[in-house]
């Protein structure tokens, strides 16, 4: 009989491991939790409600693959802080404090299992303030941890920024939907792409860092800021791979 072949996954994801396997990986040096967070919110005529969660989940898995076996990813947070999208039917939003408590509960659980390093992969801009506050509280309560977060869009945007022609972009646009084409193509509504008139009444954000309470319906009729019809798979690839390169370099020696 030949020697038994043990299959090794290219990426560690918690939802595909048994508790014994996870225990053994921790004992062998796996020490970094990747936590993808997204939302369930409208993405204009060209994207489903899963655009943010889908992108974050697959990005985290790709990063776990690069960092194998140092890092593992946990199941994606499919709900985020999205009150500004509630005008559009189907959007589901958490209160910031609910989002923060859920994130804390997950990290508290992992801490009990011996994990001391955490990195949050954010796929939704509305989560940013809550993430920053959560990390501050975590460091206060657990001085021995290392924790951070990043938006993969921000890390990879310069790969294509000079090619974008929309006057205003930032949601359900060519940037976001290009990433969706590459990472989570099941979230792209291509049947509607050709006929969509994106950001038809877009007022866009102001030119100065002055913040007003407003919903997305006050900026755009169809929920998009930018033109998803210009989305390109290769743009998504270039942004995502650049962001992965940068995060891999940052995290591999954490």
One-character DSSP codes across 79-108 = -B--GGGTTSTT-BB--HHHHHHHHHHHHH
Average pLDDT over residues 29-49: 96
Q: Percentage of the chain surpassing pLDDT 70?
A: 89
* Count of positions (residues) in the chain: 254
| 158: its two tokens | 């310069």
Domains parsed from the chain with CATH numbers: 12-164+236-251 (3.40.50.10310)
Average pLDDT along the chain? 90
Confidence of residue 137 (pLDDT cuts 50, 70, 90): very high
Contact 45, 198 (CB under 8 A): yes
pTM: 0.92
Is pLDDT at 192 greater than 50 in this prediction?
yes
Which structure tokens are listed for 254?
A: 């954490």
Q: Judge contact between 228 and 44, C-beta under 8 A.
A: yes
Mapping DSSP to helix (H, G, I), strand (E, B) and coil, where does residue 72 land?
Answer: strand
Going by pLDDT thresholds of 50, 70 and 90, the confidence category of residue 197 is: very low
Q: What is the pLDDT of residues 50-63, one digit of tens each?
A: 999 999 999 999 99
Q: Is the pLDDT of residue 174 over 50?
A: yes
In the beta sheet, which residues pair with residue 72? 12, 33
Average of per-residue pLDDT across 237-248 = 98
Whether residue 5 is predicted with pLDDT greater than 80 in this model: the reply is: no
Nearest 10 degrees: Cα torsion 33, 39, 40, 42: -150
As a whole number, mean pLDDT of residues 63-71 equals: 97
| Per-residue pLDDT at 221 | 86
CB contact set of 21 (below 8 Å; sequence gap of 6+) = none
Q: What percentage of the chain has pLDDT greater than the value 90?
A: 77
Sign of the CA dihedral with 171 first, then 136, 146, and 33 last: negative
| pLDDT score of 152 | 97
């Amino acid at each position: 009989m030949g020697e038994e072949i043990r299959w090794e996954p290219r990426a560690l994801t918690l939802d595909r491991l048994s508790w014994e396997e996870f225990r053994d990986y921790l004992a062998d040096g796996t020490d970094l939790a990747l936590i993808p967070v997204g939302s369930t919110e409208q993405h204009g005529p060209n994207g489903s409600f899963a655009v943010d969660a889908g992108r974050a989940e697959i990005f985290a898995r790709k990063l776990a693959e690069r960092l194998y076996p140092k890092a593992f990813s946990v199941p994606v947070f499919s709900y985020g802080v999205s009150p500004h999208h509630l005008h559009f039917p189907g959007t589901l939003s958490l209160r910031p404090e609910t989002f923060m408590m859920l994130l804390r509960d997950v990290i508290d659980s992992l801490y009990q299992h011996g994990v001391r390093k955490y990195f949050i992969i954010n796929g939704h801009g509305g989560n940013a303030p809550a993430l920053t506050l959560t990390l501050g509280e975590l460091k206060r309560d657990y001085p021995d941890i290392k924790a951070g977060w990043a938006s993969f869009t921000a890390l990879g945007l310069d790969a294509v920024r000079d090619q974008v022609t929309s006057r205003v972009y930032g949601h359900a646009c060519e940037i976001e939907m290009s990433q969706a084409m590459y990472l989570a193509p099941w979230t792209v509504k291509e049947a509607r792409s050709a006929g969509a008139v994106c950001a038809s009444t877009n007022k866009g954000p102001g030119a100065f860092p002055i913040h007003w309470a407003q919903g997305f319906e006050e900026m755009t009729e169809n929920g998009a800021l930018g033109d998803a019809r210009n989305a390109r798979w290769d743009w998504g690839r270039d942004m995502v791979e650049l962001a992965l390169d940068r995060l891999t370099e940052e995290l591999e020696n954490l």
